[in-house]
Amino acid sequence: MAVFGLASAVAGFVKVRYLIDKAVIDNMVFRMHYRITSAIMFLCCILVTANNLIGDPISCISDGAVPVHILNTYCWITYTFTLPYSGHKGVAHPGLGNDYDYGEKRIHSYYQWVPFMLFFQGLLFYIPHWIWKNWEEGKVRMISDGMRGTTAIIADDKTNRQNRLVQYLLDTLHMHNAYSFGYFFCEFLNFINVVGNIFFLDTFLGGAFLSYGTDVVKFSNMNQEQRTDPMIEVFPRVTKCTFHKYGASGTIQTHDALCVLALNILNEKIFIFLWFWFIILSIVSGLALVYSAAVILLPSTRETILKRRFRFGSPNGVEALVRKTQVGDFLLLHLLGQNISLRVFGEVLDELGRRLHLGSNAPSAPSTLEMAPIYPDIDKFSKETET
What integer pLDDT is reported at residue 217 of this predicted model? 82
What integer pLDDT is reported at residue 131 of this predicted model? 96
What integer pLDDT is reported at residue 103 of this predicted model? 58
**pLDDT tens track, the chain, 387 positions:** 455 555 555 555 555 444 445 788 999 999 999 999 999 999 999 988 876 566 778 888 877 778 888 888 888 888 888 877 655 555 556 666 666 555 577 777 788 889 999 999 999 999 999 999 999 988 998 888 877 765 545 555 777 888 888 889 898 989 999 999 999 999 999 999 999 999 999 999 888 899 888 888 877 666 545 556 677 778 888 888 888 887 777 778 788 888 888 888 888 899 999 999 999 999 999 999 999 999 998 888 888 888 777 766 666 667 778 888 889 999 999 898 888 888 888 888 888 888 876 544 444 444 333 333 444 444 444 444 444
Adjacency order of strands within the sheet including 80-82: 59-61, 252-260, 238-246, 80-82, 106-108
Q: Which helix (H) or strand (E) holds 258?
A: strand 252-260
> What single-letter amino acid sits at 348?
V
Cα–Cα distances in Å, from 4 out to 36, 50, 111, 223?
Answer: 18, 10, 23, 40
CA nearest neighbour of 214 among 200, 196, 202, 197? 202
CA–CA distance, 251 with 261 (Å, rounded to integer): 30
Name residues whose C-beta falls within 8 Å of residue 85's C-beta, 6 or more positions apart in sequence. Answer: 94, 95, 228, 233
Q: What is this structure's pTM?
A: 0.79
What integer pLDDT is reported at residue 86 of this predicted model? 52
* 258, burial (CB in 10 Å: exposed 0-12, middle 13-18, buried 19+): middle
CA–CA distance, 54 with 60 (Å, rounded to integer): 15
Is the dihedral angle over the CA atoms 88, 91, 94, 99 positive or is it negative? negative
CA–CA distance, 312 with 309 (Å, rounded to integer): 8
